[in-house]
Amino acid sequence: MTVLISADSVVTPEGRRGDAVLVDGGRVVALGSRSELIHPNIVEERYPGATIIPGLRDAHIHAVPYAALLAGCSLKSATSIDDLIQRLSNHAATVPSESPVIATRMDDAHLTERRLPNRRDLDRAVPDRPAVIYRYCGHVAVANSVALASSGISPGTPDPEGGSIDRDEEGIPTGVLRETATGLIAPSMARGGTLEPDALIAALEGLAGVGITSIGAMMGYGEAPSQKLEAEVELWCSVARRLPIRVHGFVITDQADQLDWAADRLSAAGPRLRWIGLKRFADGSLGGHTAAMRHPFADERTAGTLRLTEADEVIARRCIELGGIVAIHAIGDRAVAGVLDVFERLIARGADPANLRMEHASIMDHGLIRRFATIGATAAVQPAFLASEADWVVDRIGAPREAWIYPFRSMRDAGIPLAGSSDCPVEPPNPLWGMAAAVDRHGINPAEALEPLQALHLFTSGGARALREAKPLAVGSPADLVVIDADIRDADASAIHDTVVLDTFVDGLSVRVDRSAATWVD
């Protein structure tokens, strides 16, 4: 069926391209003037006063934990330990008595006490069954006494490679688990918990409601045991024929047989689901003081945790053999340098730089930026981090390094391919909010701000490239597009943030959903 989708303007990262898109068989046939493209017997979807843009891509999202959060407990807006404990206690009252209590998005930087809660704090809220809360970065967890015991975490438990167990003066675990130590928690208490297929589909429909047509879905929770990944892959496969948007799976594993299995399983499941690559970790987060820095943080005597090992490079080579993309998380400048080392060695063995991605690339000086550009890898960045970290990130890394924080313009000008994402549920999954943060930067190093069309590129053409998709809104490409209520070409950050998605099309078909379904209550 031939359909004409028209509005006041069609806007791509290259500028205005007319006011209509002609679609046939789910693909773009032409872009141009409505008056020239309209013909008798053509069905028209008309949006007066609106703007058509390419479908928005989120190149890095943890969709299963996000879906679980929509019906779960977020602690992001808690203002004190007592407030946090009350919220956790209230949530526990809604959870079946035989189930563990899990909450996410805890933010110690905004608590009055400016500290992480510990097992004794959680014991006050949930004394008689396991309870675990996760910092909003996902790299720190806090378990109560029952959760520690049921996971076998005791004073004699050694720190795992790439992680640590906080201990008091007597060597007893405080409940705070960092990086790979979060993987010591029993699978039943992992982020995401147990999710029903319908809940995942509803979450993806919510993503379509904010204009997202494709995602790079990080599958698994990054730590042992492996059954977390296997359960998630099976969940995705169970909904493959119902997906409202495109899902490209990045598998989190260090096991070659598991990578092979997941690649085969995902690729055969359905037309909108496919395996695309591997996800590994070089370090942690700025918020958790676990990002690997060349020099210590300004507000704590640590330089973070470097998690790269030879195993990461071994599994990366296997991913490349399978034809996948290697995506490695690196936030601190020491981690960035370490990942660039890995990329150089992979390229020396024949890897295509287009199949190498660094996730976050948060702290980089000009030397690292030049080196990154020379290598030719892609950076998957998260402008929305600027909004969450504005109150503390400069104090955390020190004013002399402020110019190195999320240097998007310098990266773009150097020629580094950029893709935008949210890392949801670290941040809400609204690409328009991410675009606004890239334009505004919330006062952090304004020289690195992007123009509106450059920000649009992050979440459209840049995201499509990072997900191996065809150029958006190009003749012959899938008709994935979004109708919004404003022309954002010259809009300020506030106007971009407040822009409303009126409709989302995937393969030329409208996904009519409620955009409020993509939000949660913090």
Amino acid found at 447: A
* Tens digit of each residue's pLDDT (9 = 90 or more) over 140-170: 999 999 999 999 999 999 999 999 999 999 9
Count other C-beta atoms under 10 Å from residue 517's C-beta. Answer: 17
Both tokens of residue 518?
């993509």
Q: Against a cut of 0.85, is the pTM above it? A: yes
- Give me the average pLDDT of each 10-residue run along the chain (522 residues): 96 97 97 94 95 98 92 92 97 93 93 96 96 92 96 95 94 95 85 81 95 96 60 95 98 95 95 97 96 97 95 97 98 98 98 98 98 98 96 96 98 98 95 98 96 98 98 98 96 97 96 74 74
The reported pLDDT for the residue numbered 193 is 61
Q: Which of 488, 470, 79, 474 is nearest to 246 (CA)?
A: 470
The reported pLDDT for the residue numbered 222 is 46
The reported pLDDT for the residue numbered 464 is 98
**Are the C-beta atoms of residues 219 and 250 closer than 8 Å to each other?**
yes
- CA-to-CA distance for 218 and 250, rounded, in angstroms? 5
The reported pLDDT for the residue numbered 57 is 98
* Tens digit of each residue's pLDDT (9 = 90 or more) over 217-241: 999 864 444 557 888 999 999 999 9
Q: 494, exposed or middle or buried, with CB in 10 Å at 0-12, 13-18, 19+?
A: exposed
Q: Is the peptide bond before 13 cis (omega within 30 degrees of 0)?
A: no
Which residues fall within 8 angstroms of residue 413, CB to CB, at 6 or more apart? Answer: none
Buried b (16+ CB within 10 A) or exposed e, 74-93: bbbebeebeebbebbbebbe
- CA-to-CA distance for 423 and 429, rounded, in angstroms? 8
Q: Is the peptide bond before 225 cis (omega within 30 degrees of 0)?
A: yes
Amino acid found at 142: V
Check whether domain 73-189 has CATH 3.20.20.240, yes or no: no
The reported pLDDT for the residue numbered 152 is 95
